[in-house]
Chains A and B, each alone.
Chain A
Amino acid sequence: MERYILLKDEATADIAFIAYGKNMNQMFENAARAVYDIMINKNKVKGDIPIKFKVSSDSFESLLVKFINKILLYKDYKHIVIPMINVNIKEDYTLYCTAKGEKLTKLKDYFIADVKAVTMHELKIKKRKGLIECKVVLDI
């Protein structure tokens, strides 16, 4: 199973991807990894800054948006990107995240693109062929 695929014929000015997972937690983790890979061209970064946060919402779609937004807040406010992430989503749409982040200054030679925001455009979580998938359009 691929973690995500980038879509080359969509989102002309931005970047779109589909994240996959065997379950919801994994799909969220893979979406977070796609966001990291879109910004930073360095695979093997473990990160050494411990991160913990919680986000809540009222649907999986809006939870995914809030989750990616939180990742972007770390990037803009604390100058930390998150290559390694674990999520645990509860039935009440509360997501608990534990992760390891890396200071952006350590990765300045590997920048590709800055993600401004995650859009709601065509955002829909689906079950297909035994996997959970979600198309996400990021504003670049």
Chain B
Amino acid sequence: MDIQDIRSSFKETYKNTWDSKSVGNVPIRVYANKDIFKKIEGDVFKQATNAANLPGIIGYSYLFSDAHIGYGVPVGWMGAFDAAEGIISPGIVGFDINCGMRLIRTNMSLNEVKPKIKELIDTLFKIVPAGVGSKSTGLVPELKHLNNNDMNSISEEGIDWAIRKGYATKKDKERIEERGVLKYAEFSKVSKDAVKRGKEQLGTLGSGNHYLEVQTIKEDFNKDVANKLDLDTIKNQVVIMLHTGSRGFGHQIASDYISRFLKYDEKNKINLDDKQLAYASFNSDDGQDYLKAMACAANFSFVNRQLITHQIREAFKKTFKKSENDMGLEIVYDVAHNTAKTEEHIVNGRKSVLVVHRKGATRNFGPKNKELNGVLKSTGQPVIIGGSMETGSYLCVGTKKSELESFGTTLHGSGRTMSRVKAREVIEGKKLVNELEKKGIYVKSNSLNGLIEEGGAAYKDIDQVVNSMHDAGISLKVLKLVPIGNIKG
């Protein structure tokens, strides 16, 4: 199908909501303002079209305002598949299974933290392992001697393992998507190579676009919701944002199952537009095995972010010589953006079980959703949108409209506009560091190149990207957050 033909078929059916003609089993829907919509690369539509042709896809092949070219499907994409008739695809979920965001609040103000920001970031950099080949530090003694039984427990129990070991509280658990454990995880479905890679990397940040950032609130768009989440309760409140995933454990599980699914597709004479889209029927043995292995990686990732949270709490204690309680270091929310999960949604007026694939897309449930508890029942699910270290990030909340329109899904970040290779050519490292310093952002990174690749110029304008979803009524802005310190791998 001609991409120009597809592009010209889009009509704006509601504010920032663009629907194409049918491009396979379903049309494409894009959530974006006119400016972002015009700039979406042709290959994004090509990839969304390939996905629209997959069996059992329901509604639309969805693109969010942060969408950009990925492998297999774009990043910033969601597809929901009928659990009875549809498929599951490890290539769509991608290699960093349950890559996700976590936001942690503090009781501290910018005035208190800023004078010690260098000491804090240096301490965090020392304590939180980051970068290629980084290993866990001594703050989590269990990590030195992880054996297969431990990996089994981590994979199947998720955050409950961390609670048992004293690295998480029951309160933490209540603020994590799925309460930190996908219960259908089955460790026997994970390869030995995945265990080898995972054991070495638990409790580490990684590199690429993974980061840990100390931020402050720049703008409050919804004080009622912010206050209910214990945010913007003091002037210039400081928060911490964390972005990382399942590390080598998830990467290996994805590689193993893509290879296995390609054989499944060959055996079943399935022609793929792109081999990265290798899939199996959801209810097949292969499909179910992947679901169980993927859940292990998702649980590992929840634990990974939890162990880093433990390291963050220790770094704060060390720097400010205060107790965790005094500093109010509590999780606001932890949310995944690379998963395939079974969820119940309304399709044509009936409750249906769908396999919701989110690739660079965030679950976004509205108020009163049965999956939410406590204060989240009234605020809606927090959605954490990580931006570049230069331009800031957002906290949003989900809406009922999103549940009805986009199977409770929204964007995940600001979205790249420039490849890493091009960023190395265009962005000057020293200039970038100077500019960050001028803005009062103290950055520690293992690699100047890594920093360059993540420069603000490589990303879309996050304000436009987030406003696109807000104005479409899908996820609503609560806070804009700006960095004061950042650690990159």
- A residues near B, CB below 8 A? 6-16, 39, 41, 61-62, 65-66, 69, 72-73, 75-77, 79, 104-105, 108, 111-114, 116-123, 137, 139-140
- Whether A11 touches B69, Cβ cut-off 8 Å, given contacts A120-B275, A139-B96, is yes
Given A11-B69, A16-B421, A120-B258, 7 more contacts at CB 8 Å? A12-B75, A15-B421, A75-B132, A75-B133, A111-B447, A113-B447, A120-B276
Are A114 and B69 closer than 8 Å at their CB atoms? no
Residues of chain A within 8 A (CB-CB) of B420 are: 11, 13-15, 113, 140
Residues of chain A within 8 A (CB-CB) of B262 are: 62, 120
- Whether A8 touches B416, Cβ cut-off 8 Å, given contacts A72-B251, A116-B251, is no
Are B208 and A114 closer than 8 Å at their CB atoms? yes
Are A114 and B421 closer than 8 Å at their CB atoms? no
Are B258 and A116 closer than 8 Å at their CB atoms? no
Kindly identify which residue among B208, B419, B425 contacts A11, using a CB–CB cutoff of 8 Å. B419
Interface stretch (choices B13-21, B158-166, B193-201, B376-384): B193-201
Rounded to whole angstroms, the CA-CA distance of A77 and B248 in the bound complex is 9
Residues of chain A within 8 A (CB-CB) of B94 are: 139
Are B422 and A9 closer than 8 Å at their CB atoms? yes
- Whether A12 touches B417, Cβ cut-off 8 Å, given contacts A76-B197, A104-B132, A116-B95, is yes
Are B421 and A69 closer than 8 Å at their CB atoms? no
Rounded to whole angstroms, the CA-CA distance of A11 and B135 in the bound complex is 28
Instruction: Decide if B207 is an interface residue (CB 8 Å cutoff).
Output: yes
Rounded to whole angstroms, the CA-CA distance of A121 and B47 in the bound complex is 11
- Report the minimum CB–CB distance from A26 to chain B (whole Å): 23
Are B422 and A120 closer than 8 Å at their CB atoms? no
Are A114 and B207 closer than 8 Å at their CB atoms? yes
- Whether A137 touches B71, Cβ cut-off 8 Å, given contacts A65-B259, A111-B446, is yes
- Whether A13 touches B133, Cβ cut-off 8 Å, given contacts A76-B248, A113-B449, A120-B91, is no
Q: How many A-B residue pairs have CB under 8 A?
A: 142
Are B95 and A114 closer than 8 Å at their CB atoms? no
Are A12 and B416 closer than 8 Å at their CB atoms? yes
- Report the minimum CB–CB distance from B388 to chain A (whole Å): 13
Rounded to whole angstroms, the CA-CA distance of A121 and B258 in the bound complex is 11
Are A114 and B206 closer than 8 Å at their CB atoms? yes
Instruction: Decide if B319 is an interface residue (CB 8 Å cutoff).
Output: no
Instruction: Decide if B252 is an interface residue (CB 8 Å cutoff).
Output: yes
Rounded to whole angstroms, the CA-CA distance of A72 and B249 in the bound complex is 12
- Whether A117 touches B489, Cβ cut-off 8 Å, given contacts A14-B420, A111-B131, is no
- Whether A7 touches B252, Cβ cut-off 8 Å, given contacts A73-B193, A119-B71, A120-B275, is no
B434-474 interface bits toward A, Cβ cutoff 8 Å, 1 = contact, 0 = none: 00000000000011011001000000000000000000000
Rounded to whole angstroms, the CA-CA distance of A15 and B209 in the bound complex is 13
Rounded to whole angstroms, the CA-CA distance of A69 and B133 in the bound complex is 16
Q: List 24 A-B contacts (CB under 8 A).
A: A8-B425, A9-B419, A10-B69, A11-B71, A11-B419, A11-B420, A13-B68, A14-B419, A14-B420, A65-B255, A72-B251, A73-B193, A76-B248, A77-B193, A79-B200, A111-B132, A111-B207, A111-B446, A113-B207, A113-B447, A114-B132, A119-B71, A121-B274, A140-B420
Residues of chain A within 8 A (CB-CB) of B248 are: 72, 76-77, 116
Instruction: Decide if B287 is an interface residue (CB 8 Å cutoff).
Output: no
Are A113 and B453 closer than 8 Å at their CB atoms? yes
- Whether A13 touches B70, Cβ cut-off 8 Å, given contacts A111-B132, A139-B95, is yes
Rounded to whole angstroms, the CA-CA distance of A6 and B422 in the bound complex is 10
- Report the minimum CB–CB distance from A94 to chain B (whole Å): 16
- Report the minimum CB–CB distance from A89 to chain B (whole Å): 18
- Whether A122 touches B274, Cβ cut-off 8 Å, given contacts A12-B68, A113-B453, A116-B251, is yes
* Complex: chain A residue closest to B76, CB-CB: A13
- Whether A73 touches B252, Cβ cut-off 8 Å, given contacts A6-B421, A12-B68, A14-B420, is yes
- Whether A73 touches B422, Cβ cut-off 8 Å, given contacts A108-B133, A114-B131, A121-B276, is no
Rounded to whole angstroms, the CA-CA distance of A40 and B401 in the bound complex is 47
Are A105 and B208 closer than 8 Å at their CB atoms? no
